[in-house]
Amino acid sequence: MITYWTFDNGITALDTFRKNSWISVTHPTEEEINLLTGKLKVPAEVLTDILDVDERARLDLDDSWFTIIMRIPIASSHNGIPYTTVPLGILISNHLIITICQSKNELIPSLIRNKKLDFNNKTNFVMQIFLQVANLYMHYLKLINIQVGDIERDLEKSTKNEELHKMLRMEKCLVYFMTSLKSNDILLAKLRNHKFVKSLDLDEDLVEDIIIEYRQATEMANIYSDIQSGMMDAFASVISNNLNVVMKQLALITIILMIPTFIASLYGMNVPNNLENNPWGFVIVLFISLVASVFGVFLFRKKNWF
């Protein structure tokens, strides 16, 4: 999908692109890819790199475009992993800015809602994208922490491995986030010192805010990852212990059931037992079985085995 935007006392949608406008491309079709490489003269190899889900964060400058590729977080259901990261390409020319991402994301809507966004100043527009991406990372990290808390509560009474698998998927999310945050931080440092950016008016206060936000997001991801790694080991032992408790209870129930079975077997033998001619023999056997079973339950309860 391609949308066109301009800044006129706020973000305004356009029907087609014009000079000093912003083109947002999300999950492009073959026709839209042809438009980018044909009419807009976007290099095909650059577009291929941006649409590669494993592409690393980097900078590139040629005669027509200044290209920035960064990693942004998205909600995903691929392989059961709830959150992952994908490349976002930012292409800057003299009269145009293009953002390209191969997946739907929350970044573009948040940029459009940002009333302070002004892409007439291209460097500050890029920095606003960096700031929004950092905020998006922290938003997803908080969601991960909430989901981990829910999984913890399920793990406390679980005897299955399903919750551990969920924790493992959350750990993968944190690994993706930490790797991408580190690469974006390195990218920001390179961008700040790049000759193309130094030649333009850069808001240093905004850059400092971005650095602080990225450090906070990185620390959050590291803390959550360390906590989760410890919990994985602890809850593996909890699941094993829960299974042992269940097996112990089943063994105790089996022992209790064996008591009336044993008594009934004795009085069911085809030998004299002084009750074969007693009209109350059956009731007496039932009573003995019941008393013996109750005594067994009382004994186990006294030892806190039940």
H or E element: which one contains 71?
strand 66-75
Outline which parts of the chain fall under CATH 3.30.460.20.
2-242
On the question of pLDDT at 159 being above 60, the answer is no
Which stretch of 20-29, 35-44, 110-119, 146-155 has the lowest confidence by average pLDDT? 110-119
pLDDT for residue 88: 92
Per residue in 217-274, pLDDT tens?
888 888 888 887 777 676 667 767 777 777 888 888 888 888 888 777 777 776 677 7
Burial string for 40-71 (b: 16+ CB within 10 Å, else e) reads bebbeebbebbbeeebebebeeeeebbbbbbb
| Average pLDDT, rounded, for the chain | 81
Taking the alpha carbons at both ends of the chain, their separation in whole angstroms is 63
Calculate mean pLDDT across residues 101-106.
Answer: 86
Of the options 3.30.460.20, 3.90.1520.10, 3.30.70.1350, 3.40.47.10, the CATH number for the domain spanning 2-242? 3.30.460.20
Q: Which candidate, 106, 96, 134, places its Cα nearest to that of 17?
A: 96
Per residue in 270-280, pLDDT tens?
667 776 677 77
70/134 Cα distance (integer angstroms): 11
Looking at the DSSP bridge assignments, the partners of residue 214 are: none
Burial string for 269-292 (b: 16+ CB within 10 Å, else e) reads eeeeeeeeeeeeeeeebeebbeee
Residue 66 binned pLDDT confidence (cut-offs 50, 70, 90): confident
On the question of pLDDT at 63 being above 80, the answer is no
Residue 217 contacts residue 137 (beta carbons within 8 Å): yes
pTM: 0.74
- What single DSSP character describes residue 56? P
Calculate mean pLDDT across residues 119-127.
Answer: 79
CA 108 to chain centre: 20
Name the amino acid, one letter, at 107: L
Q: Using CB atoms within 10 A of its CB, is residue 141 exposed (0-12), middle (13-18) or buried (19+)?
A: buried
Outline which parts of the chain fall under CATH 1.20.58.
243-302
CATH code of the domain made up of 243-302 = 1.20.58
